[in-house]
Structure 1
């Protein structure tokens, strides 16, 4: 499951590596696809990060609500998009910055932990949601931005939560059940992965 979280973190902070610009979709399509990860009634107001025609990771649209969405990285296999609470933006933005500086995953975790503990990095003080939607390229229409048969996962960040404070186990005991990953740390989060149909 740590591999899954690492993959999620990578795609949420992706876009800083070189891109094949011939694969970059029009801005409107990227926005439409990225917004699919958000609850339907919030999609029109989400802020969206994606890729310009030079492959740079940029803001494609400013938002009017509390969600931020990340477009699919065209350099990676499959379709992976996410939307997260704007309360998580300092944490996510710092991760992107550290990746741009060439930091590896473990070094990035250590730096953010130290900065969180010192108060330099602002963490959410209430639970904050992340919606993750993935699918196959075969089920994606790049002309319309639609994804069929995508699979949702949910992550609720709750820094420093413990199994005792939440009543959650530190591993799942049944398919799709919530559980607490990295309990007691700045990265503590509830994982919910519904079974695939």
Structure 2
């Protein structure tokens, strides 16, 4: 999703699979296609974060591959080509736990605030439905420029930022407000 989180469904499935270690393995040498995936994933966060992050990618059959093993607790995923905008992302450990809960329709861990970078921007099917994989009839994708996500429903609900179906994505706003997956979308300059 969003995508977004704004996580795309496939991207979120990647988070879930990576969290459970489903079919994950480290690539011994990056193939040319893998190098492009790694470059895409690493574009999601500042180099200081992405340089030492683990990079994962989902295969056509839904299996997960670790393209680059990291050492800093961050996990990055490449763009999902099925969405109309670039959407690579990097999440910290709490962000990965939040995403795992979201994908399994569980309540995210209490008392933990996750952080995610999406410096290439994102396209989300909905700002109100955490499980939409395409816009509702007559609606458009929610296009957001470079942003950081603060992943915690309590923080989002107490922030005072607006939400709703058609947010002003040039200002801070709440995505998935009123749900356990509510989070702050904080636009930043690239």
TM-score (norm 2): 0.59
Alpha carbons 2:74, 2:90 under 8 Å: kept? yes
Kindly state the Cα deviation for residue 81 of structure 1 after the two structures are TM-superposed.
0.8
The match for 1:169 is 162
Counterpart of 2:36 in 1: which secondary structure?
helix
Alpha carbons 2:2, 2:8 under 8 Å: kept? no
The match for 2:182 is 188
In structure 1, what is the Cα distance between the partners aligned to 2:12 and 2:163?
Answer: 25
The match for 1:179 is 173
The match for 1:13 is 12
Counterpart of 2:153 in 1: which secondary structure?
coil
Kindly state the Cα deviation for residue 91 of structure 1 after the two structures are TM-superposed.
3.1
Q: Could you report, residue by residue, the CA deviation over 1:78-124 in whole angstroms, capped at 9, with x for unpaired residues?
A: 5431111111223323555x5xxxxxxxxxxxx32xxx2xxxxx526
Q: More helix by proportion, 1 or 2? A: 1
Aligned length: 152
Gaps of 5+ in 1: 17-23, 99-110, 117-121, 136-150
| Aligned ranges 1:36-185 → 2 under 5 Å | 36-51=43-58, 56-73=63-80, 79-95=86-102, 98=104, 111-112=105-106, 116=107, 123=109, 125-132=111-118, 133-134=120-121, 151-161=145-155, 163=157, 165-170=158-163, 176-185=170-179
TM-score (norm 1): 0.57
CA RMSD in angstroms comes to 3.9
Larger RCO, structure (CA 8 Å, separation 6 or more): 2
Gaps of 5+ in 2: 18-30, 123-144
In structure 2, what is the Cα distance between the partners aligned to 1:168 and 1:65?
Answer: 31
